[in-house]
Amino acid sequence: MTPVYNQSFLSVASAAFLLSTLSACGGASGEGEKSDSAEPRTQAAVARDPNYPEIDIPPVWDAKGQLVQPKDFRELVFLGAPLTPHGLNGGKASFPEFHNVYTQPAAFKAYRATGKWPEGTTMIKELQLVSDPKGEFPDGSTTAPSGRGYFPGPPNGLDVSVKDSKRFADSNGWGYFNFNHSAPPYLATAALKSVDECAGCHIANAEDMVYIKFYKPILDPLPLPRG
């Protein structure tokens, strides 16, 4: 799978080309106008975080220590979409949606190379309701031209986890955040959830705090074609 990179990094690359062109021509125009490269340089300055040296798109924290909602997360690397609909859980599923999970390109590559998630890895889970919550059948499924099943509907929430062993030493190095379990727009920032609310389930059931088995089909590289 080819990773999709955040647009800010494309802007940075474009800015670098512009700066090199201006330098070769002796700077900006003789009228002393400000270069349009000022904003891309700012983006470049915040693109990396020394606390997360292996991460290309690091998590951002506000002055209160709350996590800022990741921008353009649908452009990151898609890992998978587990589904736990009401129809298969007696109408009482805790998360009756597709769990569309994304991570940064650098984290994805690092895990493939080492089997470990680097500091600053961000797991973004956007919840997406099934197209017909009531369904056509007792199990909540419905029909489409392709057959009977469960099909994506409206987005309905955003959860994010971040690996930071120093910041989250009390929860196996990962912190968990909820940006609302409802339709967007989601919250701009989110406070850390307690261990009982989120991390505890991952501590008890997940591998390195991530449910790897759900994402292995995409984390594992595709075999090369023969010939």
Backbone angles phi, psi at 18, to 5 degrees: -65, -45
What architecture is the 48-219 domain classified under in CATH?
3-Layer(bba) Sandwich (3.50)
Detail the DSSP E strand segments found in the chain: 67-68, 77-80, 97-103, 122-130, 142-144, 147-149, 152-163, 174-178, 189-190
Partners of 58 in beta bridges = none
pTM of the model: 0.78
CA distance 180 to 184: 8
Q: pLDDT by residue for the chain (227 residues), tens digit each?
A: 444 444 443 343 344 433 344 344 444 333 444 333 343 333 333 468 999 999 999 999 999 999 999 999 999 999 999 999 988 999 899 889 999 999 999 999 999 999 999 999 999 999 999 999 889 999 999 999 999 999 999 999 999 999 999 999 999 999 999 999 999 999 999 999 999 999 999 999 999 899 999 999 999 999 999 97
Q: Are 55 and 47 in contact (CB under 8 A)?
A: no
3-state secondary structure of 190: strand
